[in-house]
Amino acid sequence: MLKDITIGQYYPGKSPIHHMDPRMKIVITFAYIVMLFVAKNAWGFGVGIAFLIAAYLISGVPGKMALKSLKPIIPIVVFTTVLNMFFIDGNPLWQWGFLKITDKGISMAIMMAIRIVCLIAGTSLLTYTTSPIVLTDGLERLMSPLKRIKVPVHELAMMMTIALRFIPTLIEETDKIMNAQKARGADLESGKLLQRVKALIPVLIPLFVSAFRRADELALAMECRCYRGGEGRTRMKQLKMHGRDVVSALVTTVCIAGVIVLNIFIRPIF
């Protein structure tokens, strides 16, 4: 399961999406999230799904990576689906005691499952096609107006990017520690829930120690390179908008407008 977590990983490529301005990619990602929450019918969700599939095809990111990013959220999707299916009022289709499945419950469960899957897959594409350094520059540029109210924009962007960058590293470290504990006879996968939680203590302690050690090494490396924050920093590569960024923004705007029009002329799911 740990190897299936792909959050924060970067997939190198030369696609148009890889070469897009990171600021535009971040804005489009937020716009796509809005698109998913604005959609109220099957046609609207169809537009969102088609937009996502087209983005993955253009980016060249393998479908296996997208599916791997979805595996860890399967329990969340199942839990949300069950809650919506059994506890949304509507015309009952099946009932046993206080449990009942309604038509609105099924529609809501399907809608929420699609929304969660598209949300995770869409946001994962941002990190797949944007390196951590470029993502930091994009976040800092987008939040630069906040500098006027004394918000430490550079430091916030740096912290978010470092946290995102070290997720794969910590996952790999956790996997190594768990394998080492299993080699020493530790049982991490059997027993009741409380026993499994207690068995994780020998994993969590060395993991926290390793995380603090890596943080200290990173801070020391940054100090040795005379890092003093964003004040007076220059960049070797300047961010510039190109034609592909404008086209992507226009396509996203058209898709959102299409979803809104579909909401007006087509009956919602519930």
Torsion 22-154-233-150 (CA) sign: positive
Residue 114: is its pLDDT beyond 70?
A: yes
Report phi then psi at 236, rounded to 5: -70, -40
Q: Give the total residue count for the chain.
A: 270
Cα torsion at 207, 209, 210, 215 (round to 10°)?
120
**Is 218 part of any domain?**
yes
C-beta separation of 134 from 235 below 8 A: no
Does residue 60 lie in a domain region?
A: yes
Residue-wise pLDDT for 153-192, tens only, equals 877 877 877 877 777 778 788 888 888 878 877 776 776 7
Residue 128: other Cβ atoms inside 10 A: 25
In the numeric block, the tokens 């090494």 are attached to 217
**Distance (Å, whole) CA 21 – CA 135:** 9
**Lowest-confidence range among 130-144, 158-172, 236-250?**
158-172
d(CA 220, CA 146): 28
For residue 234, what pLDDT is reported?
66
pLDDT digits (tens, 9 = 90+) for 4-18: 555 667 788 889 999
- Whole-number pLDDT of residue 96: 72
Are 59 and 17 a contacting pair, CB within 8 Å? yes
Q: What is the pLDDT of residue 251?
A: 94
| Tokens (6 digits) for 30 | 């937020």
pLDDT at 255 > cutoff 70: yes
Look at residue 217 and tell me if it is in a domain.
yes
d(CA 125, CA 61): 8
Q: What is the pLDDT of residue 5?
A: 58
Does 83 or 255 have the greater pLDDT score?
255
In a domain? residue 14? yes
Instruction: Give yes or no for residue 2 having a pLDDT over 60.
Output: no
Q: How far apart are CA 121 and CA 1, in angstroms?
A: 17
The mean of the pLDDT values for the chain is 82
Tokens found for residue 139: 């976040």
Give a yes or no: residue 32 inside a domain. yes
Residue 245 counted as domain residue: yes
Task: Specify the pTM.
Answer: 0.77
Q: Given this model, what pLDDT does residue 25 score?
A: 93
| Reported confidence tier of residue 233, pLDDT bands at 50, 70, 90 | low
Say if 48 falls within a structural domain.
Answer: yes
In a domain, 270, yes or no: no
Distance separating alpha carbons of residues 114 and 119, to the nearest angstrom? 8
Q: Give the chain's largest Cα–Cα span.
A: 68
What's the total number of domains in the chain? 1
Interval 44-60: pLDDT, tens: 899 999 999 999 999 98
Query: What is the percent of the chain where pLDDT is above 90?
Result: 17
Task: Give the range of the structural domain holding residue 44, as residue numbers without chain letter.
Answer: 2-265
Render 64-128 in DSSP notation, one character per residue. Answer: HHHHHHHGGGHHHHHHHHHHHHHHS-SSEEEEETTEEEEHHHHHHHHHHHHHHHHHHHHHHHHHH
2 versus 177: the higher-pLDDT residue is 177
